Amino acid sequence: MIKILKRFLPFLLQYKLQFFIAILGMIAAAIGTSASAYIVKPVLDDIFINKNEQMLNILPWIVIFLYFLKGAGRFIQVYFTEYIGQDVIRKIRDQMLDSILAMHIGYFIKQPSGELISRLTNDINRIKNVVANMIPDFLRETITIIALVGVVVYQSPKLALYFLFIMPLAMWPLSKLAKRMKKISHQSQEKIADLTTHLTEIFNNIELIKAEAREEEELYRFKKHNLDFFKLSLKQVKTNELVSPLMEVLGALIVALVIYTGGHEVIDGHMTTGEFFSFMTALFMLYTPIKHVSKLYNSIQDALAASERIFSVIDLQPQIRSGYRPFPSHPKILCFEHVTLTYDDKEVLKDVHFCCKKDHITAIVGDSGSGKSSLVNLLVRFYDPVSGRVVVDGIDIKEFDILSLRKNIALVTQRVYLFQATIAENVGGGSFDEARVIEALKQANAWEFVQNLPEGIHTKLDENGMNLSGGQRQRLAIARALYKNPSIMIFDEATSALDPVSEQQIFQTIQKISKNRIVILISHNVRSLTFCDTIVVMKDGKSVCDGSPESLQTCSEYQRLLVKSEGDR
């Protein structure tokens, strides 16, 4: 617990003034609470027994002041601790996403998206309660307990011994319950992450689920996850609520002993009635903060489990390190120099060597799984090679600033990524140039359908662009790449969703934009790539041959792919 709380310290130290004010509020609330117990003595002894009229005129005002002090102190404490908690959580959430975004692409492949979303939402909300509510409440109640214990000891040190002796006996079962609570909380958080992951899968694949009539199967899987979460939630409730009856029994035992012993003290004349009832009032008032603290301790275990999961994300170290050089604005040549790449110990690229030149279109062809897209992953530094280099103008791309590198590369893939925003925002980003957006749409042969939409480029897309056809979505992705105006353009099966006529139109556009750029075109459709300057043929992770379409007539793998492409027509 101490180790995790130390992790919050750098965040919390930024709010020294707010903490100081909040602690003043806690002290004020504790003084108001303990003093209200103490004044029971003068109320009984001075007013009701001694008939002191002067005290009768004074004490009501004191009561009003004490409860005002208690209420004002609590308000100040709650307001400032909530401010601290909300702001700390904002910063932790920002830091979490910053750590996640810095990770290499392999991390996202292995880590379910639902798990990450759960950590950024459910786990964050749990630790918000720690910072904003639980820790401040724990401190306030502890200060209140200390103040009330002071009243108890002051009124009767002898009776206070019974209380101080029995209370520590409660710590052992409470600590056992806390350990159990932390374990269950870990399991509960993992299960809610499973639920989120499964829901994400359902919504992302809803077309497939409906097309294959798998609704009942998916519902059954979800119900199983949901039932497991329900069982864990019940365990949490049972463990947490065991605290109350335990505290009730201990409280009853203490009160019974105090009444019996205190009664004898009053009868024997060692205590006044006012002192006894002041003692009893403080004792009864102690019950609430002690019970609250014991329940808070259990709840903090739940939040600490979430904190461990959160800080495990914040502590992630990216495998891909950025360089410092700015990327050249007009690179002349890009080379893969004897590159080898592995995914989870599986070799996907083996000693690949070829170059792509400026003002040239380089096509990369091969069967699925031959390593074509892996070359792209290396170029944008989703992965780094285990041996060999990727160089631009003779400089290893590891030396370039990674943001500068990626800003100068436009990637259009077979899978289209569109946001729930307008067409203009999808093409040009948040602050777009309308004329450039229209020009990019025209170059991508998308302007014809866009201008016929109800609001043209200002038409808002549904999630994932589902109000467009597959071909229309692909054209928008190409328009986005053209709007970026990069020095390197990569088309990874970008025309796969288009009809032959549209595909040829896009190829014509690619030829037009290849001037002053390095253009890489990945395609399985070998027959349509005769316009390319260079074709690299991949097989089983190796570049088996490369050259112009004419020079590859003697390459058996190229001829096989060409025949296969003709057969697919």
- Please state, rounded to an integer, the average pLDDT across all residues of the chain: 82
Say yes or no to pLDDT of 518 above 90.
yes
- For residue 270 the two structure tokens come to 């060692």
Q: What is the pLDDT of residue 150?
A: 85
Say yes or no to pLDDT of 492 above 80.
yes
Whether residue 326 is contained in a domain is answered as no
Which residue shows structure tokens 């027994």?
Answer: 49
| Range of lowest pLDDT (105-119, 249-263, 290-304, 503-517) | 290-304
- What letter would DSSP give residue 432? -
Do 167 and 293 touch, CB atoms closer than 8 A?
no
Mean pLDDT, rounded, for 88-92:
86
Mean pLDDT, rounded, for 68-95:
88
Over the stretch 142-167, which tens digit does the pLDDT of each residue have?
Answer: 888 888 888 878 877 877 776 666 66
- The CATH number of residue 282's host domain is 1.20.1560.10
**Residue 255 — very low, low, confident or very high, per pLDDT cuts 50/70/90?**
confident
Over the stretch 273-311, which tens digit does the pLDDT of each residue have?
Answer: 887 777 778 777 777 787 777 667 666 766 777 787 788
- The CATH number of residue 390's host domain is 3.40.50.300
Mean pLDDT, rounded, for 203-223:
76
| 284 and 344 fall within a common domain | no
Mean pLDDT, rounded, for 504-530:
84
Q: Residue 185, Cα to own-chain centre: how many angstroms?
A: 18
Over the stretch 400-424, which tens digit does the pLDDT of each residue have?
Answer: 999 899 889 988 887 787 888 889 9
| 28 and 126 fall within a common domain | yes
Q: What is the rounded distance in angstroms from the CA atom of residue 445 to the CA atom of residue 469?
A: 14
| 93 and 200 fall within a common domain | yes
Q: Which domain holds residue 279?
A: 2-314
Q: Which of 255, 280, 314 is the last residue of a domain?
A: 314
Q: What is the pLDDT of residue 72?
A: 93
Q: Going by C-beta distance under 8 Å and a sequence separation of 6 or more, which residues neighbour residue 47?
A: 55, 56, 59
Whether residue 322 is contained in a domain is answered as no
| 355 and 296 fall within a common domain | no
Return the closest-CA partner of residue 47 out of 277, 349, 262.
Answer: 277
| 179 and 307 fall within a common domain | yes
pTM over 0.85: no
Reported as half-sphere exposure (CB side, CA atoms, 13 A), residue 274 has a value of 13
Q: What is the rounded distance in angstroms from the CA atom of residue 342 to the CA atom of residue 352?
A: 13
Residue 60: exposure state from Cβ atoms within 10 A (0-12, 13-18, ≥19): exposed
Q: Is 443 helix (H, G, I), strand (E, B) or coil?
A: helix
Phi, psi of 332 (to 5 degrees): -100, -35
Q: What is the pLDDT of residue 107?
A: 83
**Residue 251 — very low, low, confident or very high, per pLDDT cuts 50/70/90?**
low
| 191 and 65 fall within a common domain | yes
Q: What is the rounded distance in angstroms from the CA atom of residue 120 to the CA atom of residue 111?
A: 14
What Å distances lie between residue 502 and 14, 412, 452, 458, CA to CA?
58, 16, 18, 24
Q: What is the rounded distance in angstroms from the CA atom of residue 238 to the CA atom of residue 99?
A: 36
Say yes or no to pLDDT of 496 above 90.
no
Q: Going by C-beta distance under 8 Å and a sequence separation of 6 or more, which residues neighbour residue 312?
A: none
- For residue 550 the two structure tokens come to 């004419």
How many domains would you assign to the chain?
Answer: 2
Do 503 and 521 touch, CB atoms closer than 8 A?
no
| 400 and 294 fall within a common domain | no
Q: What is the rounded distance in angstroms from the CA atom of residue 80 to the CA atom of residue 18?
A: 6
| 277 and 339 fall within a common domain | no
Q: What is the pLDDT of residue 302?
A: 67
| 230 and 285 fall within a common domain | yes
Q: What is the pLDDT of residue 241?
A: 72
| 238 and 109 fall within a common domain | yes
Phi, psi of 135 (to 5 degrees): -65, -45
Across the strands, what pairs with 340?
A: 387
- What letter would DSSP give residue 326? P
Say yes or no to pLDDT of 391 above 90.
yes
Which residue shows structure tokens 């750098």?
Answer: 10
| 193 and 290 fall within a common domain | yes
Q: What is the rounded distance in angstroms from the CA atom of residue 107 to the CA atom of residue 316?
A: 10
